[in-house]
Amino acid sequence: AQTVTQSQPEMSVQEAETVTLSCTYDTSENNYYLFWYKQPPSRQMILVIRQEAYKQQNATENRFSVNFQKAAKSFSLKISDSQLGDTAMYFCAFRTTSGTYKYIFGTGTRLKVLA
């Protein structure tokens, strides 16, 4: 069975600084998707970034980038130039490319950006 682990329950970062959120996962699959979702106080889940496991290049979306280490089963999220609006709960998620397409979420990291 697949598992997703986020070992940092809470983190804080100064505005304009860079922060990295950690995520590890376990699977026997060779191809899959990994995601980072943001859940702000409104509780609306918002996709931050997505990575296909077969792609070696790390995904990047503006200030957000990932460090995908397939062999180590690690998928960290780097937020550059942190903004107050980045304050939210961040969930790492795993999904296979076949079958039921169920998402498996980590326990989340609460990020607070300080002014």
Residues at the contact surface with another protein, assessed by CB under 8 A: 33, 35, 42-45, 47, 50, 91, 95, 100-103, 105-108, 110
* Shortest distance in whole angstroms from residue 89 CB to another protein: 8
* Shortest distance in whole angstroms from residue 18 CB to another protein: 25
CB 39 within 8 A of CB 46: yes
CB 48 within 8 A of CB 36: yes
β-strands 32-39, 24-26: how paired? Answer: unpaired
**Tokens 């280490």 -> residue:** 69
Question: Residue 47 or 114: which CB sits closer to another protein?
Answer: 47
* Shortest distance in whole angstroms from residue 81 CB to another protein: 25
Question: Residue 44 or 62: which CB sits closer to another protein?
Answer: 44
CB 77 within 8 A of CB 49: yes
